Amino acid sequence: MGVRQARRAAERLARPHDSPALPIPSGGPLEIVHSPLVRATETAGAVARALADPAAFDGPIPIRAEHGLAEIGQGEWEGRLATEIAERWGEVLAAWRDRPTEAHAPGGESLPDARSRVEPALAEILERLSAAGPGAGTSTTTSPVLGHPAGATDHPWTILVGHDGVFKVALLTLFDLPLERFWLFPFALCGITIVEFAGAGPRLRAHNLTEHLAPLLEERAQEATEERERTGAL
C-alpha cells in the first residue's frame, strides 16, 4: 500500500495543474529535498522519476538528502506497536500527547532537539530558493491558479519529502508557533501540503491534500468486499 501511495503522490506532483490544480508555479521545482530515511528516500525517488517524464517538466530535477528532515527519533518506541507502547509506557505516552515539550520517547529525541536541526535545514532550503530568484524555471504550461501565470516562474519552488513529526515541527517553525502546538497540523501518509513565501511571510496555500489517494481506498474497499464474499475455508 505504501509504495502505491508514493506512486500516486509522485504522479500528482508531476501533473500539478490537473483539476483541481495545486497552487504552485507553472515551472518545474528547483530541487527535491528528502529525509535520508529509507521510506522517504524511496518516495523522493518515485517523485523524481515521475517529474523526469517529458510530459511533466523539462529535464531531470536535482535531488538530495537532508538530515534535518529525518523523522523525530523515537528511541525505545521505534518499531513497536502503539498498543505495546501504551501498555509499557502509559504515563509517558499520556504526557507526550498532552504536553509534548515536556515528555518524549525514552532514549528518543525531544521536540527542542528536533527543532534545532529542522530550523537550519529550512533556512538553507529557503536561502537556495531566494538565490535562484525569479525565472529559475520556465514552462509553456498555463497555470490555472490565481497568482501563478504561465511562462517564467515568478517564485521558484522546492519539493520536500519527509515525515509526519518532522513536518509538524517544520510548520510550527515556519509560522513562528510554539512547540506546545505540536499536534495542531495533521499529516496523512503521502498527502500534499503547500506553503508559499511572498510578501509579508509564509502562507499555507494547501494542507494535507489526499484526493490523489482516493482510488487506492476504493481498491482496498473492493478487495475487502471480495474477500468477505469468498466461499470455502481457504
C-alpha cell read off for 55: 510530459
Distance CA 85, CA 93 (A): 7
H-run or E-run covering 207: strand 201-209
The 10s digit of each residue's pLDDT in 84-128 is 999 999 999 999 999 999 999 999 999 999 999 999 999 999 999
For residues 146 and 187, state if they share a domain: yes
Q: Which of 54, 19, 49, 20 is nearest to 159 (CA)?
A: 49
For residues 41 and 130, state if they share a domain: yes
Boundary (domain end) residue, out of 108, 130, 160: 108
The 10s digit of each residue's pLDDT in 175-185 is 999 999 999 99
Residue 127 lies in a domain: yes
Q: What is the pLDDT of residue 192?
A: 96
The 10s digit of each residue's pLDDT in 138-170 is 443 444 444 444 444 457 999 999 999 999 999
Residues in the chain: 234
Residue 233 lies in a domain: no
Q: Determine how many CB atoms are found less than 10 A away from the CB of residue 219.
A: 12
Split into its structural domains, the chain has a count of: 2
What is the domain range of residue 86? 76-108
Q: Which of 155, 208, 118 is nearest to 24 (CA)?
A: 155
For residues 69 and 184, state if they share a domain: yes
Note every long-range contact of 218-221, with CB atoms under 8 Å and residues 24 or more positions apart, other chains counting.
220/1
Q: Check which CATH number belongs to the domain holding 67 and give it.
A: 3.40.50.1240
Q: What is the pLDDT of residue 138?
A: 41
What is the reported pTM?
A: 0.84
For residues 217 and 123, state if they share a domain: yes
For residues 97 and 194, state if they share a domain: no
Integer CA distances (angstroms), 40 to 2, 85, 106, 168, in order: 11, 24, 24, 16
The 10s digit of each residue's pLDDT in 4-56 is 899 999 999 988 988 889 999 878 899 999 999 999 999 999 999 999 887 77
Q: What is the pLDDT of residue 55?
A: 73
